[in-house]
A and B are shown apart, each in its own frame.
Chain A
Amino acid sequence: MKFVVLGGYGIIGKAVVADLYKYSKNSEIIVAGRDLKKANEYAHSFKSSRVKAKEIDINNENQLVDLLKGSDVCINCVQYYFNVQIMGACLKAKINYVDLGGLFHETKKQIKLDRDFKKIGKLAILGIGGTPGITNIMATYGSRLLKNFKSIEITFADLDYENKGFVLPYSFKTIVDEFTMKATVLENGKLIFAGPGSGRKEYDFGKEFGKQSGFYTLHSELATFPYSFAKNGLKNCEFRVTFSEDFSKKIKKLIELGFTSPNSISISGKELKIIDITDKIMERFAPKPGAKVNDKELLRVNFDNDKLIIDAVAKSNNDVSSWILDTGIPCSIAAQMIAEKRIVGSGVLAPEKAINPMSFFLELKQRGIDILKNGKRLK
Chain B
Amino acid sequence: MKYDFIVFGGTGQQGKICARDLLESGYSVVLAGRNKEAVKNLLKNKKAGFIYVDLRNTDNIISAIKKSQAEVVVNCAELTYNVEIMKACLKTKRSCTDLGGLQKITLEQFKLDKDFKKAGIVNITGCGSTPGIANVMAAYAVEKFDSVDTIELGFAWDSNIKKFVIPYSIHSILSEFTEMPVTYHYGKYVKENRLLCMGTLNFKEVGKQTTYCIVHSEVYTFSKYFKNKGLKNIHYMAGFPEHSYNVIKTLIDLGFNSNTPIEINGVKIKPVDFADKVLGRLNIPKGYKEIENIWVKLYGKKSAADKKTEMNCIVRTVKGWEEAGSNIDTGRSISIMSQMLKNGLIKESGVYGPEAVVPWKEFFKELGKRKMFVYENGRRIN
Chain A residues with CB under 8 Å of chain B are 166, 249-250, 253-254, 256-259, 261, 265, 267-268, 270, 272, 274, 276-278, 280-282, 284-285
- Interface digits, B159-194 against A, CB 8 Å rule (1 contact, 0 not)? 000001000000000000000000000000000000
The answer for the CA separation of A267 and B263 in the assembled complex, in Å, is 11
Q: Which residues of B contact A272 (CB under 8 A)?
A: 264-265, 267
Contact call B246/A257, Cβ cutoff below 8 A: no
Q: Verify B282–A277 contact, CB threshold 8 A.
A: no
Closest 10 CB pairs of A and B: A253-B250, A270-B267, A280-B264, A281-B271, A267-B269, A280-B262, A267-B267, A250-B250, A268-B267, A258-B278
**Docked CA distance A253–B247 (Å):** 7
* Pick from A250, A274, A276, A285: contact of B278, CB under 8 Å: A274
Residue in A249, A257, A282 whose beta carbon sits within 8 Å of that of B164 in the complex: A257
Q: Once the chains bind, are B269 and A277 in contact (CB under 8 Å)?
A: yes
- Of B256, B266, B277, which is within 8 A of A281 by CB? B256
Q: How far is the CA of A267 from the CA of B256 in the complex (A)?
A: 16
Q: How far is A267 from B279 in the complex, measured between Cα atoms in Å?
A: 15
From residue B49, how far is it (CB to closest CB) to chain A in Å?
A: 24
Residues of A within 8 Å of B256, CB to CB, are 259, 281
Query: How far, in angstroms, from A285 to B271 measured CA to CA in the complex?
Result: 14
Known: A249-B250, A258-B282, A267-B269. A284 touches B264 (CB 8 A): no
Q: Which residue of A lies closest to B246 (CB)?
A: A253
Contacts of B278 in A (CB 8 A): 257-259, 261, 265, 274, 278
Contact B281 A258 (CB under 8 A): yes
B residues contacting A by CB (< 8 A) are 164, 246-247, 250, 253-256, 258, 262, 264-269, 271, 274-275, 277-279, 281-282
With a cutoff of 8 Å between Cβ atoms, the chain A residues found around residue B271 in the complex are 281
Residues of A within 8 A of B253 (CB): 166, 250
Taken together as a complex, chains A and B put the C-alpha atoms of A267 and B269 apart, in Å, by: 7
Provide the bound-state CA to CA distance between A249 and B247, in Å: 10
Q: A249-B246, A281-B274, A284-B255 are in contact. List 5 more A-B contacts (CB 8 A).
A: A166-B254, A265-B278, A270-B265, A270-B267, A277-B262
Q: A257-B247, A274-B278 are in contact. Are A281 and B254 (CB under 8 A)?
A: yes
Docked pose: A284 CA to B256 CA in angstroms: 11
CA distance A250 to B247 in the complex (A): 9
On chain A, the residues within 8 Å of B274 by CB distance are 267, 277-278, 281
Asked whether B268 lies within 8 Å of A268 as measured between CB atoms, the reply is yes
What's the nearest-Cβ distance from chain A to residue B284, in Å?
A: 14
Residue ID in chain B nearest A259 by CB atoms: B278
**Chain B residue contacts of A267, Cβ below 8 A:** 267, 269, 274, 277
- Report the separation of the CA atoms of residues A270 and B267 in the bound assembly, to the nearest whole angstrom: 8
Which residue in chain A gives the minimum CB-CB distance to B281? A258
**Once the chains bind, are A276 and B264 in contact (CB under 8 Å)?**
yes
A–B Cβ pairs within 8 angstroms, 12 of them: A249-B250, A250-B250, A256-B164, A258-B278, A259-B256, A267-B267, A268-B267, A270-B267, A278-B278, A281-B254, A281-B274, A284-B255
The residues of B that contact A270 with a CB separation of less than 8 Å are 265-267
Question: How far in angstroms is the closest Cβ of chain A from B360?
Answer: 40
In the complex, residue of chain A having the shortest beta-carbon distance to the beta carbon of B279: A257
B370, chain A: closest CB distance, angstroms: 31
Measured between alpha carbons, how far is A257 from B265 in the docked complex, in Å? Answer: 24
8 Å CB contact of A250 from B164, B254, B266: B254
A250 to B256, CA, bound (A): 12
Please, how many angstroms separate the alpha-carbon atoms of A243 and B152 in the complex? Answer: 42
Q: A270-B265, A272-B267, A277-B264 are in contact. Are A282 and B282 (CB under 8 A)?
A: no
Q: Quote the shortest CB–CB distance from B292 to chain A (angstroms).
A: 22
Q: B161 to nearest A CB, angstroms?
A: 14
The CA of A248 and the CA of B258, in the complex, are separated in Å by 22
Question: Which residues of A lie under 8 Å from residue B266 when comparing CB positions?
Answer: 270
Question: Closest A-chain residue to B268, C-beta based?
Answer: A268
Q: Which residues of B contact A278 (CB under 8 A)?
A: 274, 278
Report chain B residues within 8 Å CB of A274. Answer: 278
- CA distance in complex: A278, B256 (Å): 9
B268 touches A265 (CB 8 A): no
Chain A neighbourhood of B246, CB < 8 A: 249, 253
In the bound assembly, the distance between CA atoms of A267 and B250 in angstroms comes to 23
Task: Determine if B279 and A281 form an interchain contact, defined as CB atoms under 8 angstroms apart.
Answer: no
Q: How far is the CB of B179 from chain A (nearest CB, A)?
A: 21
- Given A253-B246, A259-B278, A265-B278, A282 and B264 contact (CB-CB distance below 8 Å): no
For B258, list chain A residues within 8 Å (CB).
281
Chain B residues positioned under 8 Å from A257 (CB to CB):
164, 247, 278-279, 282
With the chains together, A265 CA to B273 CA distance in Å? 12
A277 to B268, CA, bound (A): 10
Alpha-carbon gap, A280 to B262, bound state (A): 7
A176 CB to closest chain B CB, in angstroms? Answer: 13
Instruction: Determine how close the nearest CB of chain A comes to the CB of B136; give it in whole angstroms.
Output: 35
